[in-house]
Each structure stands twice: as C-alpha cells, then as structure tokens.
Amino acid sequence: MRLLHTMLRVGDLQRSIDFYTRILGMKVLRQSENTEYKYTLAFVGYGDESENSVLELTYNWGVDKYDLGSAYGHIALEVDNAAAACDRIREAGGKVSREAGPVKGGTTVIAFVEDPDGYKVELIEKHS
C-alpha cells in the first residue's frame, strides 16, 4: 500500500491552483470535469503520481467557501530553509501564519503558511 492523494475542497479552483503551483512550486498533473455531478478536480504535486503522493483539489460548482472544522490539521512539506521559504511565499503573495523557528519542545525548524481557503501547510526544514 501507499498513500496516493489528499483531497481538499476549494472555493475557487484557479485561485487554489495558482497558490499550489506559483507559490508552492507544484505542477498541475491532471484535471477533469464532471458535468453531470457539477465538480472539477485538479491534481497537483511535485512529481508523477506513480511515485509521489499528490493533492486533489476538488471544486464543487457554485460552492465558494467551506467550514474547515476542528479535525483538520495540516499538510506538511519539506523545505531546505524554512525562513527563506517563508520569505519567498510572502513575496509571492502567500500568507505566512507562523514564522520559521523551532517546534515547541524540540529543535526541528518549522513554519506555517495558509492556502487561499485557510488550509494550513507546515514547512519542515530538512535536517542537514
């Protein structure tokens, strides 16, 4: 078994694609539309789905906002330098919600950013 994807419901598909591609550097891997059930899917990630886990962005036509609930945590991405990644994301128009620094009670350097729908994305600095 392997993890294939994580699905996020988004309120504006193009806005979300822009965030995950332009700001976080992912690529659109595939996109499909279901006219009968009125939704569009876009799969984004850093590599081919045959070898990498990806995000499925689901846009249900006519729904522009979701209650994220209290159970959702975050998506985690490894970065070379968390502070530099925050700077790049901020300069590109992204929202940094926690600046780079050690995790509470530890030494791993992390930061958090938010996507346009409010989903949290943790940046974890690669150990050298």
Q: What is the CATH number of the domain that holds 92?
A: 3.10.180.10
Q: Is 70 exposed, middle or buried (0-12, 13-18, 19+ CB in 10 A)?
A: exposed
Please pick, among 36, 78, 91, 122, the residue that the annotation labels catalytic.
122
- How does residue 65 score in pLDDT terms, banded at 50, 70 and 90? very high
Mean of the pLDDT values across residues 12-31? 98
CA distance 24 to 92: 9
Domain count across the chain: 2
* 119 and 83 co-located in one domain: yes
Tell whether pTM > 0.85: yes
* 80 and 110 co-located in one domain: yes
Sequence-ordered list of residues with C-beta below 8 angstroms from that of 121, at least 6 positions apart, any chain: 24, 74, 75, 76, 77, 112, 113, 114, 115
* 119 and 87 co-located in one domain: yes
pLDDT in tens, 103-114: 999 999 999 999
Residue 128: pLDDT over 90? no
* 10 and 56 co-located in one domain: yes
First-to-final CA distance of the chain:
29
The range of the structural domain enclosing residue 97 comes to 75-125
For the question of residue 99 being annotated catalytic, the response is no
The reply to whether 66 falls in a domain is no
Sequence-ordered list of residues with C-beta below 8 angstroms from that of 122, at least 6 positions apart, any chain: 74, 75, 76, 77, 110, 111, 112
